[in-house]
Amino acid sequence: MALTKAVTSHLSSQTATVSDATAQTNAETISDSYSTILNITIAQVGAASSAATFTVWVRTASGIWVALWEAVPAGTAEDTYYWSIPIPFAYGAVGVAYTAQSGGTSSTINVDVIEVTALE
């Protein structure tokens, strides 16, 4: 059985804050029949006094937006932080809100949406 997938860059080298409303407006449409995974990286440059955070938003079949959990923080040390997040079936769209760090030099988020599109 062969697997076909699509990779979409949802946020690329984003340094400015992305609000919850913007994350929902600019969300990626996904299949509610196949798996979706978010690969997220946050690169922290310089030690931050407050960590960068992200929140994953999903749209239900009835059109309601829900956060999968509370804001997830990166670390405050200079480093690159990684997450692979499976998105449960039955959601029609996914978006990521982002809050940049305070202190340090900068933080940058990258989000790739990896979606299974077919099983053959």
Our CA angle for 46, 50, 54, nearest 5°, is: 100
Nearest C-alpha neighbor of 91 from the set 55, 60, 56: 60
- Domain 12-119 class in CATH: mainly beta
Nearest C-alpha neighbor of 93 from the set 35, 21, 31: 31
Tell me 22's DSSP state. H
Is the model more confident about 72 or about 119? 72
Sketch the domain layout of the chain as residue ranges: 12-119
Under a CB-based contact definition with an 8 Å cutoff, are residues 47 and 78 in contact? Answer: yes
> pLDDT tens across 59-75, in order?
998 999 999 988 999 99
Can you tell me the mean pLDDT for 48-63?
Answer: 95
Q: What share of the chain in percent tops pLDDT 70?
A: 99
Q: Residues 6 or more apart from 71 whose CB is under 8 A from it? A: 53, 54, 55, 97, 99
What rounded mean pLDDT belongs to the chain?
91
Can you tell me the mean pLDDT for 31-39?
Answer: 86
